[in-house]
Amino acid sequence: MDSFLVGRQPVFDAEFEVQGYELLFRGPASPRPGGDSMTADVLVRAGLDIGLEGLVGKKLAFVNATRAFLVSDDAFPFAPGETVVEILEDVPRDTEVLEGCRRLVAAGYTLALDDYSWSDGPDPLMDLASIVKLDVLAQSTEQLATMLRRFGNANVKWLAEKVETHEQLRVCQDLGFDLYQGYVLSRPEVVKGNALSPSRLACLRIIERLCDPMTSARDIEKIVQTDAALSYRFLRAAGAGASRGLYRKISSVREGVVLLGERRLRSWVTLMLLSDGGRGSDEKLRIAMTRARMAELVAGAALPRLIDESFTVGLVSALDILLQAPLEQVLDSLSLADELRDALLEQRGPLGRILADVLAWEVGGGTMEPSSGLDLASVEKAYIEALLWAQETCDVVNDI
């Protein structure tokens, strides 16, 4: 279990209504990671660990992007309508960058030019950007006015950033800025959270398999199921739009893999590798993996048609332990199908009966009466097999 921080600072319009939030890296002061890792960390924390809507609500998310993200063929992990991609000031205007930016704009993303101070003739990115951010602290009033006059015909919104005093705010208002950001309006807020860290081995195995055109969703699912953190994150990412009617409810890890699709799946896995969120596993992860595997084995003997859903139910049942949060709160972030929620919260239905056997055996159910339809010896056999599988899986992860 890792604790993490994410910063967010609001962006205001001319009426001082919040239009969005810039998401900021807030990690250890030393050693400070590179730009790619910081961007990856912010994307993973915001998209998978907290949930973008939980962090910015219905507002826009302003996210910094280095050259590596702009030129990548992988899909940007957030939807176009909810994201402003900020192009950092040190990104060169080379052919690959321009092509990448055109792809993002064609896909519906809004581009912003961060800390803008262009002085070398026409800027090819000005035709693609919708927002241009000027650093009020780094430029004089005359320099700001000159920049606005120079690109006055550009179809962009001008954002005054690092506005720290009321006098600076008044000057920017007089110059006609459209958007504002800075300490005088609101300081960055630090959001704290806890996250599961997927193993780098599992992430690398998925990347490897995605390079093989013969790889199926089932192949990917098998890798994902060896890592509780990956399973949780993919369920969350795939179900992110369910509350807005974008996707259907999810019943299994396999459905989550299919819904994400190859490009978005590769994007999230790459981000997790770049963010380097942690390694290994602890006893809580072993509990989660044992529950998931035992539920799958019980279903295989009692109700084979529910094998996939049972693994998911077993896994999710342990997320309150892993995330140190009430299970109902965790479920609100996952958009699971109703039958899975009923099984998890009330142990209702066939999935609920399978989970009941798993939980009862975990606390010492040697004299229990199985509700899944299996006899006691079969439940015990499923537990022993699951325990060995979980132990072997976690040992492999810890050896990496």
The domain segmentation of the chain, as residue ranges, is: 2-193, 196-399
How is residue 11 written in tokens?
């962006």
Mean per-residue pLDDT, 184-197: 78
Q: Output the average pLDDT for the chain.
A: 82
Q: By the 8 A CB rule, do 130 and 154 touch?
A: no
Q: How many whole angstroms separate alpha carbon 85 and alpha carbon 113?
A: 9
101: buried, middle or exposed (CB in 10 Å: 19+, 13-18, 0-12)?
Answer: buried
pLDDT of residue 3: 67
CA dihedral 169, 172, 176, 178 (to 10 degrees): -60
Place of tokens 């994902």: 224
Q: How many whole angstroms separate alpha carbon 96 and alpha carbon 72?
A: 9
**pLDDT tens profile 337-352:** 889 999 999 999 999 9
Q: By the 8 A CB rule, do 149 and 123 touch?
A: no
Mean per-residue pLDDT, 76-95: 88
Q: Tell whether the model's pLDDT for residue 396 goes beyond 70.
A: no
Give 196-399's CATH code, choosing from 1.10.3720.10, 1.10.3210.10, 3.40.50.300, 1.20.120.450: 1.10.3210.10
Alpha helices of the chain — where are they, by DSSP H?
Answer: 35-44, 52-56, 67-71, 95-106, 141-150, 166-175, 200-210, 217-224, 228-238, 253-275, 283-302, 307-316, 319-323, 327-331, 338-346, 349-362, 376-399
pLDDT of residue 273: 62
Check: CATH 3.20.20.450 for 2-193?
Answer: yes
Q: How many whole angstroms separate alpha carbon 262 and alpha carbon 266?
A: 6
pLDDT of residue 280: 39
If one counts every other C-beta atom within 10 angstroms of the C-beta of residue 298, the result is 30
Listed residue (360, 354, 385, 278) closest to 49, CA to CA: 278
If one counts every other C-beta atom within 10 angstroms of the C-beta of residue 91, the result is 22
Q: By the 8 A CB rule, do 27 and 33 touch?
A: yes
Report yes or no on whether pTM surpasses 0.85.
no
Place of tokens 């049972």: 310
Choose the weakest-confidence range: 15-24, 107-116, 220-229: 220-229
Q: 3-class SS at 39?
A: helix
Higher pLDDT, 215 or 249: 215
Calculate what percentage of the chain has a pLDDT beyond 70: 84
Q: How many whole angstroms separate alpha carbon 106 and alpha carbon 119?
A: 27
115: buried, middle or exposed (CB in 10 Å: 19+, 13-18, 0-12)?
Answer: middle
**pLDDT tens profile 150-175:** 887 778 999 999 999 999 999 999 99
pLDDT band at residue 243, thresholds of 50, 70 and 90? very low
Q: Tell whether the model's pLDDT for residue 267 goes beyond 90.
A: no
Place of tokens 């819904």: 259
Q: Tell whether the model's pLDDT for residue 276 goes beyond 80.
A: no
